[in-house]
């Protein structure tokens, strides 16, 4: 690109031009060319000259983004419509890490925009009409909706990954052996963790029962005597213990009724374990034993409030174990009923006021997949 105008304004060392940085509407605005005008015009002419090459590269970059979002990061899907098409023209050779960071920056920008709008949205501006104010509210709500959808998509995608990992964990290895129980335990609930620990956020108890997310205190693989909800001194270790406190609706009455509580115990056994027997090695008997010990202690909630009538607290015992012949015998001896899919047992012990559910790992995976299938299908995620 050549120009007599630029020749007259080139620096002596020929490394740049003597131009104003930005255009002006002043006295010399119609005759002087600014640096920003020059740059903009040069880029437009270069884009026109390279249009054939650029279009192919842009489409390849756009395809790279859409495939990455569809297959690896669906959380960005609700935000793609808010990113300009020009910003989606990325280098087709960009790495997954760089592309993830690039899209995350756009999400962060949207979150900042939402925060800024949130501080102003409740106060109409003095110069805007009611119609303009309502339009601003709609724009704000649409942005908030897209961001919340993005967070929900990430959570659903996390569930899909956990289910896939659990499916792999229960397969038999090349040496003919099955995985250790601590791997499955770690996928369901990190070991040596309690509810006030940051690591608790890693739990995936939804695999067993969606209701297990609502608890007052939870401890995992810890001796009973280390749990602050009881005064028990036993060293027995249930895999997971939860104390649920449910508040009743507020009623106007002459007296006040304390909230009820439930104790949830989860026991996990290694896949294809063959040593299930009566007594201490029977996981059903183990969970019921834990229940007796907890009920015999002086139980308090995590906030230090006493729980009245502790012997009457309902118990929920979950056992995750493969349906080996001995495990089936243990379920039958406990008077449990087989499930419709023949992959588990359930029942109620009226003496101990305990609901018992025995599930094979395959049943856990199948049940969790069915509960989440609608979400996976909505996001276009394969379920097998």
Q: How confident is the model at residue 362 (pLDDT cuts 50, 70, 90)?
A: confident
Report the C-alpha gap between 76 and 154 in whole angstroms: 9
Comparing C-alpha atoms, which of 273, 264, 269 is closest to residue 283?
Answer: 269
More confident of the two residues 202 and 70:
70
Asked if the model's pLDDT at residue 180 lies above 60, the reply is: yes
Please check whether residues 210 and 332 belong to one and the same domain: yes
- What is the layout of strands, in order, in the sheet containing 344-349? 217-220, 240-246, 260-268, 315-320, 354-359, 344-349, 337-338
In terms of average pLDDT, the best of 14-28, 37-51, 151-165, 296-310 is: 37-51
Please check whether residues 208 and 331 belong to one and the same domain: yes
Residues in a beta bridge with 245: 261
Of 160, 192, 227, which marks where a domain is finished? 160
As a whole number, mean pLDDT of residues 114-141 equals 80
Asked if the model's pLDDT at residue 253 lies above 50, the reply is: no
In terms of average pLDDT, the best of 96-105, 158-167, 292-301, 304-313 is: 96-105
Please check whether residues 192 and 304 belong to one and the same domain: yes
Q: How confident is the model at residue 126 (pLDDT cuts 50, 70, 90)?
A: confident
Q: Is position 174 within any domain?
A: no
Please check whether residues 241 and 124 belong to one and the same domain: no
Judged by average pLDDT, the poorest of 83-87, 114-118, 269-273, 341-345 is: 269-273
Q: What is the pLDDT of residue 20?
A: 77
More confident of the two residues 194 and 84:
84
Q: Is position 76 within any domain?
A: yes
CB atoms within 10 A of CB 76: 22
Integer CA distances (angstroms), 120 to 124, 125, 196, in order: 8, 9, 35
Please check whether residues 210 and 324 belong to one and the same domain: yes
Residues in a beta bridge with 317: 265, 356
Please check whether residues 124 and 214 belong to one and the same domain: no
Kindly give the pairing relationship between strand 240-246 and strand 344-349: unpaired
Report the C-alpha gap between 238 and 354 in whole angstroms: 16
Please check whether residues 137 and 286 belong to one and the same domain: no
Please check whether residues 316 and 192 belong to one and the same domain: yes
Report the C-alpha gap between 351 and 265 in whole angstroms: 17
- Write 338-347 long-range contacts (CB < 8 A, 24+): 339/363, 341/366
Q: Is position 24 within any domain?
A: yes
Q: What is the pLDDT of residue 25?
A: 59
Asked if the model's pLDDT at residue 326 lies above 50, the reply is: yes
More confident of the two residues 352 and 3:
352
Please check whether residues 45 and 68 belong to one and the same domain: no
More confident of the two residues 258 and 158:
158
Q: What is the pTM for the complete model shown?
A: 0.60
Q: Is position 245 within any domain?
A: yes
Looking at the 3D structure of the chain, how many domains does it have? 3
Mean pLDDT of the chain: 76
| Cβ–Cβ < 8 Å for 184, 268 | yes
Q: What is the pLDDT of residue 344?
A: 93
Q: What is the pLDDT of residue 257?
A: 44
| Cβ–Cβ < 8 Å for 328, 277 | no
Q: Is position 209 within any domain?
A: yes
Q: Is position 173 within any domain?
A: no
Of 160, 191, 215, which marks where a domain is finished? 160
As a whole number, mean pLDDT of residues 357-384 equals 80
Please check whether residues 236 and 196 belong to one and the same domain: yes
Structural domain range at position 117? 52-160
Q: Is position 274 within any domain?
A: yes
More confident of the two residues 332 and 309:
332
Integer CA distances (angstroms), 89 to 50, 132, 293, in order: 15, 33, 63
Please check whether residues 224 and 108 belong to one and the same domain: no
Q: Is position 228 within any domain?
A: yes
Asked if the model's pLDDT at residue 249 lies above 80, the reply is: no
Report the C-alpha gap between 39 and 62 in whole angstroms: 26
The CA-based dihedral angle spanning residues 331, 334, 339, 343, taken in that order and rounded to the nearest 10 degrees = -10
Of 126, 160, 194, which marks where a domain is finished? 160
Asked if the model's pLDDT at residue 157 lies above 90, the reply is: no
Please check whether residues 138 and 64 belong to one and the same domain: yes
């Amino acid at each position: 690109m050549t120009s007599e105008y630029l020749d007259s304004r080139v620096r002596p060392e020929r490394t740049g031009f003597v131009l104003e940085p930005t255009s002006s509407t002043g006295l010399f605005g119609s005759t002087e060319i600014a640096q920003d005008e020059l740059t903009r015009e040069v880029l437009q002419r270069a884009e026109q000259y390279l249009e054939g090459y650029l279009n192919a590269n842009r489409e390849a970059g756009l395809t790279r983004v859409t495939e990455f979002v569809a297959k690896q990061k669906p959380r960005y899907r609700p935000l793609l419509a808010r990113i300009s098409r020009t910003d989606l023209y990325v280098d087709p050779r960009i790495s997954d890490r760089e592309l993830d960071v690039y899209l995350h920056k756009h999400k962060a920008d949207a979150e900042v925009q939402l925060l800024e709008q949130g501080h102003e949205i409740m106060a109409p501006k003095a110069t805007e009409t009611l119609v303009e104010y309502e339009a601003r509210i709609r724009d704000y709500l649409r942005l908030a909706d897209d961001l919340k959808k993005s967070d929900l998509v990430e959570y659903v995608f996390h569930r899909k990954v956990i289910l896939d990992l659990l499916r792999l964990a229960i397969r038999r290895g090349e040496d003919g052996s099955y995985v250790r129980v601590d791997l499955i335990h770690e996928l369901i609930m990190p070991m040596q963790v309690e509810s006030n620990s940051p690591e608790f956020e890693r739990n995936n108890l939804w695999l067993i029962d969606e209701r297990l997310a609502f608890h007052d205190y939870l401890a995992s693989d810890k001796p009973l005597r280390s749990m602050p909800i009881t005064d028990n001194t036993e060293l027995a270790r249930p895999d997971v213990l939860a104390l649920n406190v449910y508040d009743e609706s507020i009623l106007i009455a002459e007296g006040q009724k304390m909230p009820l509580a439930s104790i949830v115990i989860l026991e996990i056994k290694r896949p294809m374990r063959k040593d299930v027997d009566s007594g201490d090695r029977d996981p059903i008997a183990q969970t019921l034993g834990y229940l007796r010990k907890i009920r015999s202690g002086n139980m308090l909630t995590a906030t230090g409030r006493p729980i009245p009538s502790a012997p009457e607290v309902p118990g929920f015992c979950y056992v995750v174990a493969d349906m080996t012949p001995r495990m089936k015998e243990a379920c039958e001896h406990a008077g449990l009923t087989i499930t419709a899919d023949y992959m588990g047992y359930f029942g109620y012990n009226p003496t101990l006021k305990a609901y018992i559910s025995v599930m094979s790992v395959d049943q856990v995976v199948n049940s969790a997949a069915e509960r989440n299938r609608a979400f996976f299908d909505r996001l276009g995620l394969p379920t097998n």
